[in-house]
Amino acid sequence: MPAAITCVEDLRAMARRRVPRMFYDYVDGGSWTESTYAANEADFARIKLRQRVAVNLENRSLKTRMLGQEVAMPVALAPTGNTGMVHADGEILAAKAAEAFGVPFTLSTMSICSIEDVARHVERPFWFQLYMMRDRAFIRSLIDRARQANCSALMLTLDLQVPGQRHKDRRNGLTTPPKPTFPNLVDLATRPRWCAGMLRTPRRTFGNIVGHARGVDSISTLSTWASKQFDPTLSWQDVEWVKKLWGGKLILKGILDPEDARHAASSGADALVVSNHGGRQLDGAPSTIESLPAIVDAAARQMEVWLDGGIRTGQDVLKALALGASATMIGRPFLYGLGAAGQAGVRKCLELIASELDLTMALCGRTEVRSVDRGILLPGTFPTAQRTHHRAH
């Protein structure tokens, strides 16, 4: 890992050089004008911190718990589709890096490496993310497979009943694996390291689906199947059905409104993730940090509230904790690390965020990540539940 890597932005620049354009753009793009994607980061930057001095800063700790599990810091790797196209065997490498660091890893339904593949390469249980598909028999089988692989929590993503309009993916003709078109071949020719990795692995399509879903045995049948499978009829009754079928810890991802947070709290789920799918679904929706305080007010007494979207530094993690999140999730930052340098890059991303979180917490006069509250923020610079509610009207 080059010594010049000092922040997640450095990993992003490195990944951009090493990952084929269609997959880099898949990671780094939002929907429509990308205004919500941009707001996720910009709204964090507006929040100012209170610097404190002459406080004993020895014996600092970032340790906390997520769903009862001790974690090295309040950050988990979010489920991201196509991770194994950012780097060969990407999900396995990211899961191993997370396990070694002591943070949770979440495998996406739309992963390249299958549930069973990842389970063979790690010692500790990971989490599995589920999309609601029309084929309920396939959903049952996915849940069974997650249980057999000893997954310790199921994460149901609620904000992709219909896919967002992502212009970069359309322009690039995104497919997994990429089609051998002239523009793609020219792009791949400039990414020899990526190509060499892909030639060494058999994992080049959606491992949880091909050979498992009814009638899906090839790339061509997969795309037809996928275009028809995301279920627009998804309801809170389906959430309860999944909870009963799974029987274990359930996380609901994609909550952005206090009313939906109240539904989530009464559904019996254990945690929710304040998320706008990284700005990839409804462009023009509010940022996650803007939405967080009102959702904490609505649901935090009944379940854990986490946040993802826009986190690029340990300072962003600290700001989310200060506004009431008990933990956070990262997607793009670890994918930048993965694209830059595989497993070592994911580890570097986690080290950077932990170091920034620790240092910022100290300079704000705190030594325990669990004690962080809005007292570390400068009044008037951060969103509140009342302000968010007022804007909504």
Domain range list for the chain: 8-46+70-357
- Strand ranges, E, within the chain: 64-66, 69-71, 75-77, 106-107, 127-131, 153-157, 249-255, 271-274, 304-308, 327-330
Please give the structure tokens belonging to residue 138: 């396939």
Looking at the structure, give the CATH architecture of the domain made up of residues 8-46+70-357: Alpha-Beta Barrel (3.20)
Please give the structure tokens belonging to residue 314: 């340990």
Cα dihedral 128, 131, 136, 140, rounded to 10, equals 0
Going by the DSSP 8-state scheme, the letter that residue 185 receives in this structure is H
Q: Which residue has the tokens 């275009």?
A: 227
Answer yes or no: are the C-beta atoms of 263 and 272 closer than 8 Å.
no
Separation CA 188–CA 216 (nearest Å)? 27
Among the listed residues 339, 336, 366, the one whose alpha carbon sits nearest the alpha carbon of residue 353 = 336
pLDDT at 129 over 50: yes
- pLDDT at 260 (0 to 100): 98
331: pLDDT confidence band, cut at 50, 70 and 90?
very high
pLDDT at 3 over 80: no
What's this model's pTM, rounded to 2 decimal places? 0.96
388: pLDDT confidence band, cut at 50, 70 and 90?
low
Q: Which residue has the tokens 């309920």?
A: 136
Weakest-pLDDT range from 10-14, 186-190, 214-218, 323-327: 214-218
Distances (CA, A) of 95 to 127, 187, 232, 392, 393: 10, 28, 31, 39, 42
Annotate 113-140 with DSSP letters as a single string. Answer: S-HHHHHHH-SS--EEEEE-BS-HHHHH
Residues in the chain: 393
Mean pLDDT computed over 75-104: 98
163 versus 101: which is more confidently predicted? 101
Question: How does strand 327-330 pair with strand 153-157?
Answer: unpaired
Weakest-pLDDT range from 34-38, 70-74, 244-248, 384-388: 384-388
How many CB atoms sit inside 10 A of residue 211's CB?
A: 13
Instruction: Tell me: cis bond preceding 177? Omega within 30 of 0 counts.
Output: yes
Does the active-site annotation cover 393? no
pLDDT at 393 over 50: no
Separation CA 345–CA 136 (nearest Å)? 37
Mean pLDDT computed over 53-82: 98
Angle between helices 332-363 and 90-101 (to 10 degrees): 20
Q: Write out the H or E segment, with its range, that includes residue 309.
A: none
pLDDT in tens, 241-274: 999 999 999 999 999 999 999 999 999 999 999 9
Separation CA 201–CA 92 (nearest Å)? 12
Separation CA 175–CA 189 (nearest Å)? 18
- pLDDT at 223 (0 to 100): 77
Annotated active-site residue in 277, 389, 390, 393: 277
- pLDDT at 387 (0 to 100): 60
Strand partners, 66: 69
pLDDT at 389 over 60: no
Separation CA 29–CA 36 (nearest Å)? 11
Q: Which residue has the tokens 């002459």?
A: 54
Determine what percent of the chain is predicted with pLDDT higher than 90: 92
- pLDDT at 226 (0 to 100): 81
Separation CA 96–CA 122 (nearest Å)? 6
